[in-house]
Amino acid sequence: MKHYDAQDLENLPSRYRAHFINSCTGFKSANLLGTISEDGITNVAIFSSVTHLGSNPPLLSFILRPNTVKRNTYDNILKMGVFTVNHVNQNFIREAHRTSAKYDGGVSEFDKTLLNEEYLDGFKAPYVKQSRVKLGCEFVNEYFIKENDCHFIIGAIKHIYVDKEIQAEDGWLNLETAQTVCIDGLDGYALPQILNRFSYAKPDENVRSLSDLGS
Amino acid sequence: MKHYDAQDLENLPSRYRAHFINSCTGFKSANLLGTISEDGITNVAIFSSVTHLGSNPPLLSFILRPNTVKRNTYDNILKMGVFTVNHVNQNFIREAHRTSAKYDGGVSEFDKTLLNEEYLDGFKAPYVKQSRVKLGCEFVNEYFIKENDCHFIIGAIKHIYVDKEIQAEDGWLNLETAQTVCIDGLDGYALPQILNRFSYAKPDENVRSLSDLGS
């Protein structure tokens, strides 16, 4: 295997290091965050850091980098207190990627891409019409990460919309059936196929396959 | 689409809600964290929350739940200051899942599963021999998440080992070639295939496909 030590990593050209480090922690989730400003200007932006934080209460988290295009998302969330999380589907990965362009604050990515906004059940922030799994979230808290000036944002999941056929009897979502993609690095999009589900692991027992629950 | 509001989510049976909420944020990374205690007892445990935090300096983060089997991992990291992150490969998803069983503190999962430990370049924490992407990390900081008593842990990436054939010319790792899996919910394992890579997005331009870099 090729070995990079700390000095090797520091000596890499910055773009090479960005591609390398962004892909070295494994696959990441692919979500579009939808927000709206006080003036009613909508924003939709792709994020690869949305992660489950807890089920009871239902919480998620994501990372906001300092001083990027994503500041619109940050400002809107702080002002309005709400945002949506919409799964990226294999059918619109190119449009999802295009939301990472640095548009001016007065421009909505919904006008500049083929993504469509929709409003559900009186929730203030826009959902992405094309997504097959959508979450309506309220801002809960943020932690400033002093190591690299990022913000760790926590949201409470208040609404979930899912296509019925992707949910198993035990509540699990079959994200292969949803055609949800994941992200490899800064710019790679991948479509996962479920290999298996396993039973709850106990010491000194083998785990059973639950793949019959997966469809 | 089926709609769950906040009250619906609260009323769900707790196991159903756990499966549902754990899968609703999209696919998650699949990594084995390797640690060692002061007494030399090794530990390896699966985590689905390891995420890229920054490239310069190279940082990653993960979430530790309160009072779980993962406390061995936490105690070892705080005491020894080091841990390893090892990609789960499609060839050993069952063994990886088995590390989530609640073994006693004196027992190493390396002895109870078919996973093998290895030590590289004098680094104190054990790597997983079977992994094709492995990171050696130093503990940097932790943030206590008061919303649900989790710990947000930050690690500095000091060593990376990769099979040569999975790295593209621009530094990006083709995780499909590595056969790295991702996780859907609490117990679903999935194998992603790369669909495409796209160029850096700019306003009012289409993005180009970089799929020729992916192999």
Q: What is the pLDDT of residues B161-197, one digit of tens each?
A: 999 999 999 999 999 999 999 999 999 999 999 999 9
Q: Do A9 and B194 touch (CB under 8 A)?
A: no
Q: So what's the pLDDT on residue B31?
A: 98
pLDDT band at B103 (very low <50, low <70, confident <90, very high): confident
- The SS3 assignment for A47 reads strand
**Is the CB of B60 inside 8 Å of chain A's CB atoms?**
yes
Residue of B nearest to A104 (CA): B203
Q: How near does any CA of chain A get to the CA of B169, in Å?
A: 8
Sequence-separated (6 or more) residues with CB below 8 Å from residue B140:
A147, B59, B154, B155, B156
| pLDDT tens across the length of chain A (215 residues) | 999 999 999 999 999 999 999 999 999 999 999 999 999 999 999 999 999 999 999 999 999 987 665 578 999 999 999 999 999 999 999 999 999 988 877 899 999 999 999 999 999 999 999 999 999 999 999 999 999 999 999 999 999 999 999 999 999 999 999 999 999 999 999 999 999 999 988 888 888 998 654 44
A127 C-beta neighbours (distance < 10 Å), count: 23
Does B65 have pLDDT greater than 60? yes
- Nearest by CB: A197 against B112, B171, B188: B188
B187 close to B97: Cβ distance less than 8 angstroms:
yes
**Is the CB of B31 inside 8 Å of chain A's CB atoms?**
yes
Q: Do B63 and A49 touch (CB under 8 A)?
A: no
Q: Do B54 and A148 touch (CB under 8 A)?
A: yes
Q: So what's the pLDDT on residue A70?
A: 59
Q: So what's the pLDDT on residue B69?
A: 53
The complex scores an ipTM of: 0.96
Residue positions counted in chain B: 215
B83 close to B77: Cβ distance less than 8 angstroms:
yes
End-to-end CA distance of chain B: 38
- Nearest by CB: A101 against B30, B194, B201: B201
Count CA atoms closer than 13 A to A74's CA, side-chain side: 17
Q: Do B51 and A51 touch (CB under 8 A)?
A: yes
Encoded tokens for A101: 């362009």
pLDDT band at B133 (very low <50, low <70, confident <90, very high): very high
Q: So what's the pLDDT on residue B174?
A: 98
Q: So what's the pLDDT on residue A106?
A: 84
A131 close to A76: Cβ distance less than 8 angstroms:
no
Give B128's DSSP letter. Answer: E
Q: So what's the pLDDT on residue B215?
A: 42
Distance CA A110, CA A42 (A): 7
Q: So what's the pLDDT on residue B68?
A: 60
pLDDT band at B211 (very low <50, low <70, confident <90, very high): low
Q: So what's the pLDDT on residue A92?
A: 97
Q: Do B23 and A193 touch (CB under 8 A)?
A: no
Q: How near does any CA of chain B get to the CA of A38, in Å?
A: 23
CA angle (A87, A89, A137) in 5-degree steps: 10
Got the DSSP string for A132-173?
SEEEEEEEEEEEEETTTTEEEEEEEEEEEEE-GGGB-TTS-B
Mean of the pLDDT values across residues B100-110?
A: 87
Q: What percent of chain A has pLDDT over 70?
A: 96
Domains of chain A: 26-214 (2.30.110.10)
Q: Give B66 or B200, the one with higher predicted confidence.
A: B200
Distance CA A116, CA A121 (A): 17
pLDDT per residue as tens digits for the range A161-183: 999 999 999 999 999 999 999 99
**Is the CB of A69 inside 8 Å of chain B's CB atoms?**
no
Distance CA B159, CA A85 (A): 34
Alpha helices in B81-150 (DSSP H): 93-98, 109-112
**Is the CB of B29 inside 8 Å of chain A's CB atoms?**
yes
Q: Do A52 and B19 touch (CB under 8 A)?
A: no
Q: Which residue has the tokens 């705080």?
A: B78
Sequence-separated (6 or more) residues with CB below 8 Å from residue A89:
A130, A131, A132, A178, A179, A180, A181
Encoded tokens for B58: 């190279």
- Nearest by CB: A191 against B181, B193, B197: B193
Residue of A nearest to B190 (CA): A194
Sequence-separated (6 or more) residues with CB below 8 Å from residue A30:
A46, A48, A87, A88, A93, A96, A180, A181, A182, A183, A189, B26, B27
Mean of the pLDDT values across residues B37-42?
A: 95
pLDDT per residue as tens digits for the range B87-96: 999 999 999 9
